[in-house]
Structure 1
Amino acid sequence: MIAILTDSHSLAQIIARVVGAQRKHADLYESDEYCITWVAGRIVDLAPPAAYGRARLTPDLIPLIPEPFKLGIRQEMTARGMTTDPTAVRQLHIVDDMFARCRSIIAATEAGAEGEITFRWLYAYLGYTKPVQRLWLSALTDEAVREGMTHLRDSRDGDALYAYADTRAKADWIMRVNASHALANAAGMGRNALGRLMTPTLAVIYARYRENKAFTHAARWQLAMTLREGEALRRFRYAGRIGSRKTADSLYSRCTRCGQVRITSVEHRTAYQAPPRLYDLTSLQKVCGERFGISAARTLAAAQSLYRKQLITYPQTESRYITQEVMATVPQLLERLFRQEPFASMRVHIDPKRLSHRSVDQAKVAGHHALLPTGQQPAGDLTQVEQKVYESIIMRTIEAFAPRCRKEVSLVEATVDGLQFRSRSVHVLQPGWRAVCSHEDDTEQDETDDPDVGFSPEETMPFGGISLGTGHTMPEPLYSEATLLTAMQTAGIAAAAERARIIEALFERGYIERSGKTIIPSERGLQLYDMVRDLLIADREQAQRWEQALAQIGRRERSAEGVWQDFVVFTRQVTDQIAALRSMPWPKM
């Protein structure tokens, strides 16, 4: 018999249907050839400090660097403290019994880093040495599972991915455990937590907050005039910078005294706005946050649910591209989408013989391609959030393969008493992809529906009006979840699926709060930030360098052992810095 282990009940059901395992028991499916069961995520994890006889880490015991690390059954927080999760114990017994009866194993956990350590840690904890193959899926449709079962991978193909995930998890463990205990010892702040990625993220949020509040507004002036041609009006702006009120008043007076405008150049050109690329997880989370106010964590949860319901491809992707092989299936996919009632009217915007290839790039697909719908019809059981996420993915898919938006850009330059003014306008000639789903953020600056005014070079005329506007420079805005996700991605902080969990952890710890869509700091978080802001653990550039080093393990560019030894040295430096805080007076939190 062949044992198949998944990390979701829904996938176990699909595999059972595909392979004909029709005998259903309480926690598994069976046939004469296969036995299939599932676990609820990572039920075997890195053991806590207590497993090493170190329930509390005093200064002389820090840093704790286990050699080797111990694995243990997942723990959960209860009223009595941390205890072994009974669900994990029960599932482990079922898996152990299934593995004992089989001749070989198929690892069908999530096709990514998390799925790799979910299976391998469990397999190592149980101590089996039976042969293992890997089922690697980018979608959970029957067709995808059937194809995957026909082309099972050698488990050794995932060795580099496992080394990356394993080293990453252990690095997170030693930094979280040692830094948090070091802070408790140094400042008596035992209810606080520091982390390899959480603390740099906190620093990103709070640095922006402090910059925003310390910003000094500076006055600015804008000189503008309006020209009329028949009933049409066109607004021109002064091309120079105005540095003072005195200069602004002088320029205004100079224009009003002259009263005449000379057109110096008129340029019309055709421009194109390319269709947007397909979503990766972060761009999906950003759009759902900005348009619908859905948090990054809820967007991820909805996407995971849609994936399990066979409606979209693997959601935790960091690529916005697909391969040429996947592109070959897109015409059929679009046809299936257009058969669904809400999207039937979108057919007119697509030319199946001239699909955009902007999202096609084999070199930019590592692991999983961009998010796509599968074309399956929803069963009518979607939540409101799932429906919005699902429709967003479908609309983006149709947009991504639609034609370019064609525009005419007009640039007119004029002078008043030698002062140069410019006017730019953009008119949409053929909306192309923008006809699919019009959003305000698709609109280009200076885009207008007003008729263009026909000016000619060297033409002179009086201006219809002139105005002197005043304003102030503005600080960079405080982060929303959407803009924070972008900042984390730009800074190289965390993998796509982790970013939402880090943000939620900061909320749960009480370090940040929501004010509408804006993230604001809490008093508790400000105190922690002020304490660690100059330390290595809060350095976003250090976080980025470690993310890059860990990623090199997955690409087989560096050895896991080499990166690990370097990180151990770094952890000692971090805990030494935190220990030095002991001599400073800090408020109790």
Structure 2
Amino acid sequence: MPVILAEKPSQAKAYAAAFQIQEKKDGYMRLKPCSLFPDGAVLTWGFGHLLELRAPADYESSWKKWSLDTLPMLPAHFRFKPNPRAFKQLKIVKQMLQEADSIIIATDCDREGENIARSVIDYTKTSHKPTQRLWINSLEKDEVYKGFEQLREGADYLPLYEEARARQFSDWIVGMNASRLYTLLLKQKGINEVFSVGRVQTPTLKLIYDRQKEIEAFEPEPYWELEGTFRAEAGEYKGKYKKRFGSKKEVLRIWKEHGLKKDTEGTISSIKKEEKQEKPPLLHSLSSLQTTMNKKYKMSPSAVLKTVQSLYDEPLKAVSYPRTDTRHITSGEFNYLKGNLGRMQECMNASFEPASTTPSKRFVDGSKVQEHHAIIPTKKVLSQTQFEKLNRAQQQVYKEVMNSVLAMFHRNYVYEETTIETDVQGLVFESKGRVDKQLGWKELFPAPKKKKDQEDNTLPPVTEGEQVEAYVQAAEKETQPPKPYTEGQLINMMKSCGKWIEDDETSKKVLQETEGLGTEATRSTIIQTLQKQEYIRIQKNIVEVTSKGRALCEVVEGTLLSKPLLTAKWEAFLKQIGSGEADKEAFLKQTEAFTKKLVEEAPAGITNMQTNPDQVAASKKQPQRAEPIALCPVCQKGQLMERKSFYGCSEYANGCKFTVPKTLLKKRITQAQVKKLCEKGETQVIKGFKGKKPFDAKLKRKENGVEFVFPAKDNAPS
């Protein structure tokens, strides 16, 4: 009798729904005989991983103690032990596999799914038995049954298992050794913390740290722009001279050369109208869905994965397999989506006439679909009543997935872009406006309402050669620092880091081919790990590195462990193992060589640490999420700390009253701005304060608080 091994109970329940159950037992169930299984079948499951790698002390007694003298720790053979939280289930699975005539691996259709099943099969010494593989994209009843009708040869997926093992063993080698190494080295510098280090999490942390350093080191540079407000017969519009000026002297020269005055006349010298189109966005991969949901709803990547997984799992089975890295589908998926178009429109209350029901290469391309296609609704389209019963997060995610598919059938977005050039004393000011001609797919994604202070981008109807009243002014501005990452941008940064972090083309190619750091299934987990290890904190969707994270980044600076390229090269090697083109043992030998070199060279890098150990300790003593920001500029003793509604000195109890409000005239003041205020005496220009009218200003230190400093905005430079 065959034994079907699922990854988890909910998955097994979805499989069982495609057959008739003979009896349910503790940890497994028996399926009635049918055309596919004439003698019936046993269906059992894991709870994810039923096994885990042994700890260092299980290999060598000397490895129990954390000591630099025992590094590197390199087991000759890796050994597993039962997951203590799943010991009972492992015993049941072991019995079922040993009694089986054949085995059907029905875990998740990816690298880790293969590892979960094969590691148990090896552990139970049943790998000699005939093995087949279930490979499906949906847990719908019909798709499950179809998958069991078309089982694949288990041996075809052995390279995927080798890839997973290589990843698992190399992560142990790097993680166990590097974590002990840097924990012990940093302890010598006075930091008594455990530092978790990994081949993906550490370069990810370093990228966040590098962005934060860019922001802190940023020195704003002033520049001037000539701005014009023009009054025509049909209405008022604004324009800007194309060139920026690096000094006020340049502005003065241009001003005088062209005889500009406060109020003068201008002529509309050119009007260009161009019709433009935007095609519907691509379908979603997990990364694009996580990035989109974070941008729209501030939903964390881990929450998005959890939510879309709940839509995929029993009992909903409403979307296809979520851990996918492709944004395309095959003609098979397109045909069933086309057949369900009316039901999808009804669910989303989106009535429109399809622009086309012919597959477009933009969305339907079998050559870009490997194991899994884009995330799409299953044939089990929810009714409006069923949709309304979903929780809020499920509704938001399901709606995004549904609308991405509906957009594929919708018309293009069409708009008319108008460019007006206004000549004022020989200087040409450009104004751009946009008018929607056909919303098309954008009807499905309503734009958020404009805020009161946001300018309208429509232009009044004017004619070429028309005379207008012109009011020209020189506006002093400053270059702005890079923005800190949001949680959603981290996903995109991890995936696309090869586009901008490495200089040579070979490095870029490797990073782009491996899609950067991590995989679709692991990126959100990496972010969670960085939070759990207290390397980063996420506040109001903004990601910041903690003092503990800074200390680690400073000491790994310059090592391969801090570079995304190393991780990408390893991932490329792993993929070659998965395709049968490379050898697992060769990969592990490379990992061991890297680790030996790291142990030899890391002590020299410890001198790079600039973070004060007291800062790390201070951040631990503060309430959750409080981190030292900068030395207090008033008392020169305390640290500026973030409180509930303000930033204040840690020496407050000893008389220091220096504070900075967290929100000033409806504008949030960031930690980076407070740090600059403390260290430089003033911030760069901060945009968006809201008094009676919106305005931009710097914040300057004043006694125990701050004051505004306004950038120059002259009608005529002097």
TM-score normalised according to structure 2 size:
0.75
Equivalent residues in 2 for 1:311-460 (5 A)?
Answer: 311-340=318-347, 343=348, 345-348=349-352, 350-351=354-355, 353=357, 357-376=361-380, 377=382, 378=386, 382-440=390-448, 450=458, 452-456=460-464, 459=465
2:537 is matched with which residue: 478, 496, 513? 513
Alpha carbons of structure 1 residues 394 and 206: separation in structure 2 relative to 1, 3 Å: same
Between 1:255-264 and 1:303-312, the stretch displaced more is: 255-264
Alpha carbons of structure 1 residues 462 and 409: separation in structure 2 relative to 1, 3 Å: closer
For residues 389 and 271 of structure 2, what CA distance do their matches in structure 1 show? 57
Q: Deviations over 1:86-134 (max 9, x none)?
A: x411111110111122210111000111101000111111111211101
Equivalent residues in 2 for 1:110-509 (5 A)?
Answer: 110-128=108-126, 129-188=128-187, 191-252=194-255, 254=258, 256-257=260-261, 259-308=264-313, 309-340=316-347, 343=348, 345-348=349-352, 350-351=354-355, 353=357, 357-376=361-380, 377=382, 378=386, 382-440=390-448, 450=458, 452-456=460-464, 459=465, 461-491=467-497, 492-509=516-533
Q: Deviations over 1:440-487 (max 9, x none)?
A: 599xxx99563552332xx25243422332321111111111111111
Question: Aligned to 2:260, what secondary structure does the other structure show?
Answer: helix
Report the alpha carbon displacement of residue 6 of structure 1 after superposing the two structures with TM.
0.5
Question: Aligned to 1:471, what secondary structure does the other structure show?
Answer: strand
Instruction: Give the equivalent residue in structure 2 for 1:37.
Output: 44
For residues 249 and 303 of structure 1, what CA distance do their matches in structure 2 show? 58
Instruction: Give the equivalent residue in structure 1 for 2:656.
Output: none
Given that residues 228 and 463 in structure 1 are in contact (C-alpha distance below 8 angstroms), is that contact kept between their aligned partners in structure 2? Answer: yes
1:103 is matched with which residue: 90, 101, 104? 101
Q: Which has the higher helix share?
A: 1
Question: Aligned to 1:259, what secondary structure does the other structure show?
Answer: strand
Question: Aligned to 1:363, what secondary structure does the other structure show?
Answer: helix
The answer to whether structure 1 residue 20 and structure 2 residue 20 are counterparts is: yes
For residues 186 and 206 of structure 1, what CA distance do their matches in structure 2 show? 20
Given that residues 97 and 121 in structure 2 are in contact (C-alpha distance below 8 angstroms), is that contact kept between their aligned partners in structure 1? Answer: no
Overall identity of the aligned pairs, in %: 28
Question: Aligned to 2:437, what secondary structure does the other structure show?
Answer: strand
Given that residues 233 and 453 in structure 1 are in contact (C-alpha distance below 8 angstroms), is that contact kept between their aligned partners in structure 2? Answer: no
Query: What is the total number of aligned residue pairs between the two structures?
Result: 571
Report the alpha carbon displacement of residue 583 of structure 1 after superposing the two structures with TM.
7.7
Residue type of the alignment partner of 1:405:
Y
Q: Deviations over 1:184-221 (max 9, x none)?
A: 33332561111111111110111111110111111222
Instruction: Give the equivalent residue in structure 1 for 2:670.
Output: none
2:578 is matched with which residue: 536, 554, 560? 554
Alpha carbons of structure 1 residues 523 and 582: separation in structure 2 relative to 1, 3 Å: closer
Alpha carbons of structure 1 residues 583 and 228: separation in structure 2 relative to 1, 3 Å: closer
The structure with higher relative contact order (CA 8 Å, sep 6+) is: 1
For residues 486 and 255 of structure 1, what CA distance do their matches in structure 2 show? 49
Report the alpha carbon displacement of residue 252 of structure 1 after superposing the two structures with TM.
4.5
Alpha carbons of structure 1 residues 126 and 190: separation in structure 2 relative to 1, 3 Å: farther
Given that residues 357 and 409 in structure 2 are in contact (C-alpha distance below 8 angstroms), is that contact kept between their aligned partners in structure 1? Answer: no
For residues 589 and 397 of structure 2, what CA distance do their matches in structure 1 show? 42
Between 1:548-557 and 1:155-164, the stretch displaced more is: 548-557
Report the alpha carbon displacement of residue 375 of structure 1 after superposing the two structures with TM.
4.3
For residues 63 and 441 of structure 1, what CA distance do their matches in structure 2 show? 58
For residues 319 and 469 of structure 2, what CA distance do their matches in structure 1 show? 57
For residues 248 and 339 of structure 2, what CA distance do their matches in structure 1 show? 63
Given that residues 252 and 468 in structure 1 are in contact (C-alpha distance below 8 angstroms), is that contact kept between their aligned partners in structure 2? Answer: no
Report the alpha carbon displacement of residue 148 of structure 1 after superposing the two structures with TM.
0.3
Report the alpha carbon displacement of residue 276 of structure 1 after superposing the two structures with TM.
0.7
Give structure 2 stretches of 5+ with no counterpart. Answer: 32-38, 498-515, 617-718
For residues 574 and 48 of structure 1, what CA distance do their matches in structure 2 show? 21
Give structure 1 stretches of 5+ with no counterpart. Answer: 75-84
For residues 112 and 476 of structure 1, what CA distance do their matches in structure 2 show? 37
Alpha carbons of structure 1 residues 250 and 59: separation in structure 2 relative to 1, 3 Å: same
Given that residues 264 and 471 in structure 2 are in contact (C-alpha distance below 8 angstroms), is that contact kept between their aligned partners in structure 1? Answer: no
Report the alpha carbon displacement of residue 249 of structure 1 after superposing the two structures with TM.
4.0
For residues 281 and 429 of structure 2, what CA distance do their matches in structure 1 show? 33
Question: Aligned to 2:277, what secondary structure does the other structure show?
Answer: strand
Residue type of the alignment partner of 2:114:
E
Between 1:549-558 and 1:577-586, the stretch displaced more is: 577-586
Alpha carbons of structure 1 residues 379 and 385: separation in structure 2 relative to 1, 3 Å: closer
Given that residues 355 and 402 in structure 1 are in contact (C-alpha distance below 8 angstroms), is that contact kept between their aligned partners in structure 2? Answer: no
Q: Deviations over 1:349-408 (max 9, x none)?
A: 634536755222222222111110114224866333222222222222222332210111
Report the alpha carbon displacement of residue 334 of structure 1 after superposing the two structures with TM.
2.4
Question: Aligned to 2:522, what secondary structure does the other structure show?
Answer: helix
Report the alpha carbon displacement of residue 561 of structure 1 after superposing the two structures with TM.
3.1
Alpha carbons of structure 1 residues 356 and 234: separation in structure 2 relative to 1, 3 Å: farther
For residues 203 and 250 of structure 2, what CA distance do their matches in structure 1 show? 45
Cα RMSD, aligned residues only: 2.6
Question: Aligned to 1:495, what secondary structure does the other structure show?
Answer: coil
Residue type of the alignment partner of 1:245:
K
Instruction: Give the equivalent residue in structure 2 for 1:575.
Output: 599
